[in-house]
Amino acid sequence: MTSPPPSRGPHTACDARFSINYRRRAAAANQSFLSGPGRNRKFNGFSSDLASFSTVQSNHFSETSSIVKFNYLDLANHIHFAYFSASEQSIPSQLIEHLHQFVDSLPTLTTMLYKTGAIQWWLDSRNKTDEASRNILITLVFLVILWFISLVLKQSRVQPSSPPGPRGLPLVGYLPFLSPNLYRTFSELRNVYGSIFKIQIGTKLWIVISSPPLVAELVRDQDVTFANRDPTVASKIASFGPSDIAFSNYGHEWRKMRKIFVSEMLSNSRLDASYCLRKQQVHKMIADIYEKAGEVVDIGELAFVAIMNSVTSMVWGQILKGSKDAAVKAEFRPVLQEFMQLLAMPNISDFFPLLAGFDLQGIGRRMKAISLQCERIIDSAINHYNDLENNGQIDFLGYLLQLTKSDDPAMSLTIVQVKSMLMDIVIGGMDTSVTIVEWAMAEMLRHPKVMEEVQEELAKIVGLNSSVEEAHLSELKYLKAVVKETLRLHPPLPLLVPHCSSKPATVGGYMIPKGSQVFLNVRAIQTDPQLWESPLEFQPERFMRGSSAEAVDYWGNHLQFLPFGSGRRICPGIPLAERTVMHVLASLLHAFEWSLPHGVEFVDLSEKFGVVVKKEKPLVAVPSPRLSSLKLYSYSD
Ligand code: HEM
């Protein structure tokens, strides 16, 4: 073995260039590494190794041709640069570790090669053949190292893992294990898999989320990505396409319809203007109940009639009068009931789109028939409007029909959009509001002290010689707390309306593929013991002044309480829902004392899962009048 060549003083220009580059990059890399926990140790180790190695070797190499030195230093420089770039990307820690090990071993490897004479051969080579072999070798080594680094970089781009979830059967996935009460299945799976899990149902991937931080990632950080819908076969038919607000994808037409809905149709001024229509229906309900004082009445049924009448009055005003109006309403009710049932039915066509053409359960066919009936009812109202040119009625239908003639593309609607928006009000607004009235009354019958307190508040604010008006509602703080507590324990849509991802996204560190259906389990969040004290107790006081949840509202700002959702898809009907539910409840409790029928000892709170989660058994109770004047119970058309 020949001894190492002696040092020949100062470094060449090439060394200097390497040294400047090296120092510049090392400084930058150090800075970057210092910002990442636990990385600086390795990097500093590597840089000092490489620096000392480069100094030692540059002394040894000074005897050899500058090409060799250039090649070697350039190679080191490239490795270092590639290593640095690799480190800049978020490479999984295991890969980083491998890369560190490899780079750390470079000086040792080279010393080994030197000792075995390989480098000496390289340095000593003088003839052309050796030089060519040496250059080929350098190129090969360089290529191998680049290949290794590119492999590491490629692996670093491995997608985050998919959320945990139960295994299903081949083809059908978890479908056979779903209970009709989806909420129950989701709660059981949450106990096993945590706040985010996936379920494969046929070809569909469901993601279920049930913690406020994950909800925030969805409805705040990535709201647009998750603002799509994946409507079922039945809901597509029901929403004419879909061409409505509830089932259309996020996009220009959806934004336009929603804007018209929120800022025009449900604006405070328009709701104030249509108050007389709602008020009439509430008075009619009180008069009807008075007729049955002392008898057992079905509260859900009464609320349904009052709310359906007030919603349909707002939708097509008073253009359908007397017997025509009564006939339409009588026809509408069973149609609506079947409509809701079909919407809630699990449909094979939704889980296996290839089978949709066969409509194996006949849900599509039945939904088409029901939708036609609804369309016929809406058409008959539209025809009346067309007959009564300039009749001055500016209810929802009149207003929307005007927009079909608008030249402004930002406001113009097609007739199909008008019909589907009317259906949104009827479908979205009716069952939800009726259900909340029924649950609130059920809870108050179970908690007579709460009912007493609401009635005391009503007596104080409204007085026993007046009827409740919408103007009183803002002062009824305790009743509002009762409504909030009911929405917390019995949200009508406990899983909201499923959202759908328009592109791949990451939530909670897990990969959510494009087209996944995402369920936000708000009911689980609203009864989470880590977020709520005594979460299963009905305690409206928790929302009253001075209590922990005093400031918690349902406008999507507090992610522990989301009965109407949050983000772009939040329910646009809150202003109308608030007025309707509060007015009906306040009137029922102000006008009557309520007691359980003879022989009934407790109120059963069992649930029936559907599009809306209702009471399984109808709520029945006995009313007795409590107002001072008979006039307050009278009603005339
Ligand atoms: C107590 C009564 C109500 C409750 C609890 C309720 C709840 C909800 C919920 C949870 C959503 C889904 C939000 C989401 O996907 O993130 C929703 C959507 C919707 N609600 Fe309501 N709602 C009520 C009343 C109303 C009323 C009165 C109307 C109509 C006047 C209405 C119209 C709609 C519409 C059109 C959507 C679809 C919004 C969209 O997809 O952009 N809702 N509602």
> How many angstroms separate the CA atoms of 629 and 139, rounded?
102
Is the confidence at residue 52, as pLDDT, over 50?
no
Is the confidence at residue 64, as pLDDT, over 50?
no
Q: Given the CA of residue 562, which atom of ligand 1 is nearest to it?
A: 10
At residue 63, the 3 state secondary structure works out as coil
Q: What is the mean pLDDT of residues 313-335?
A: 67
Q: How far is the CA of 191 from the centre of ligand 1 (A)?
A: 28
Is the confidence at residue 471, as pLDDT, over 80?
yes
pLDDT at 68: 41
Q: Given the CA of residue 498, which atom of ligand 1 is nearest to it?
A: 15
Q: What is the mean pLDDT of residues 9-25?
A: 39
Give the residue, 384 or 344, on which the prediction is more confident: 344
And the tokens for 216?
Answer: 């925030």
Q: What is the CA radius of gyration of the chain?
A: 36
pLDDT at 155: 67
> How many angstroms separate the CA atoms of 498 and 246, rounded?
10
pLDDT at 635: 85
220, 433, 564: residue to mutate for ligand 1 pocket, most atoms within 8 A of CB: 564
Amino acid symbol at 56: V
Q: How far is the CA of 237 from the centre of ligand 1 (A)?
A: 19
Q: How far is CA 178 from CA 48, 344, 363, 386, in A?
A: 60, 14, 19, 49
pLDDT at 17: 40
And the tokens for 177?
Answer: 């294990």
228, 270, 571: residue to mutate for ligand 1 pocket, most atoms within 8 A of CB: 571
Is the confidence at residue 350, as pLDDT, over 90?
yes
- pLDDT-based confidence at 333, cuts 50/70/90? confident
Ligand 1 lined by 561 (C-beta under 6 Å): no
| Mean pLDDT lowest among 4-18, 445-459, 583-597, 599-613 | 4-18
Q: Given the CA of residue 487, which atom of ligand 1 is nearest to it?
A: 5
Q: How far is CA 340 from CA 332, 427, 614, in A?
A: 12, 8, 12
Ligand 1 lined by 300 (C-beta under 6 Å): no
**What is the per-residue pLDDT across 310-322, written as a single tens digit (0 to 9) for each?**
888 888 766 555 5
Q: What is the mean pLDDT of residues 222-232?
A: 97
> How many angstroms separate the CA atoms of 91 and 76, rounded?
22
Sign of CA dihedral 605, 608, 614, 619: negative
- pTM higher than 0.80: no
Give the residue, 392 or 86, on which the prediction is more confident: 392
Is the confidence at residue 371, as pLDDT, over 50?
yes
Ligand 1 lined by 494 (C-beta under 6 Å): no
> How many angstroms separate the CA atoms of 411 and 400, rounded?
10
pLDDT at 292: 95
- pLDDT-based confidence at 11, cuts 50/70/90? very low
> How many angstroms separate the CA atoms of 109 and 86, rounded?
21
Instruction: Give the mean pLDDT of the chain.
Output: 82
How is the beta sheet containing 204-209 ordered, strand by strand? Answer: 196-201, 204-209, 517-520, 499-500
pLDDT at 577: 97
Is the confidence at residue 594, as pLDDT, over 60?
yes
Q: What is the mean pLDDT of residues 28-36?
A: 37
> How many angstroms separate the CA atoms of 337 and 366, rounded?
13
User: What share of the chain has pLDDT > 70, as a percent?
Assistant: 75
Strands 592-595 and 517-520: unpaired
Q: What is the mean pLDDT of residues 86-111?
A: 57
- The protein residue with its alpha carbon nearest to ligand 1, atom 39, reads 246
- The protein residue with its alpha carbon nearest to ligand 1, atom 9, reads 564
Contact in structure between 512 and 484 (CB atoms under 8 Å): no
Is the confidence at residue 42, as pLDDT, over 90?
no
- pLDDT-based confidence at 227, cuts 50/70/90? very high
pLDDT at 382: 83
- Range with top average pLDDT, 23-27, 35-39, 77-81, 112-116: 112-116
> How many angstroms separate the CA atoms of 506 and 222, rounded?
9
Q: How many residues does the chain have?
A: 637
Residue 369: closest CA among 329, 338, 398, 324 = 338
DSSP H or E stretch at residue 225:
none
Is the confidence at residue 27, as pLDDT, over 70?
no
Ligand 1 lined by 564 (C-beta under 6 Å): yes
Is the confidence at residue 560, as pLDDT, over 50?
yes
And the tokens for 261?
Answer: 């809905």
- pLDDT-based confidence at 30, cuts 50/70/90? very low
Q: What is the mean pLDDT of residues 520-540?
A: 97
- pLDDT-based confidence at 101, cuts 50/70/90? low
Q: How far is the CA of 157 from the centre of ligand 1 (A)?
A: 40
Ligand 1 lined by 433 (C-beta under 6 Å): yes
Residue 9: closest CA among 49, 57, 59, 56 = 59
And the tokens for 241?
Answer: 């396409």
pLDDT at 339: 87
Is the confidence at residue 537, as pLDDT, over 70?
yes
Q: What is the mean pLDDT of residues 87-114?
A: 58
Give the residue, 296 or 315, on which the prediction is more confident: 296
Burial class (CB in 10 A: 0-12, 13-18, 19+), 102: middle
Q: What is the mean pLDDT of residues 336-350?
A: 89
Residues 6+ away with beta carbon under 8 Å from 582: 473, 476, 479, 480, 483
pLDDT at 94: 54
- pLDDT-based confidence at 2, cuts 50/70/90? very low
At residue 533, the 3 state secondary structure works out as coil
Is the confidence at residue 13, as pLDDT, over 50?
no
Judge whether 276 is annotated as a binding position: no
Contact in structure between 198 and 207 (CB atoms under 8 Å): yes
Q: What is the mean pLDDT of residues 508-520?
A: 97
Strands 204-209 and 517-520: parallel
pLDDT at 150: 81
Q: What is the mean pLDDT of residues 597-607?
A: 94
- The protein residue with its alpha carbon nearest to ligand 1, atom 20, reads 571
Ligand 1 lined by 498 (C-beta under 6 Å): no
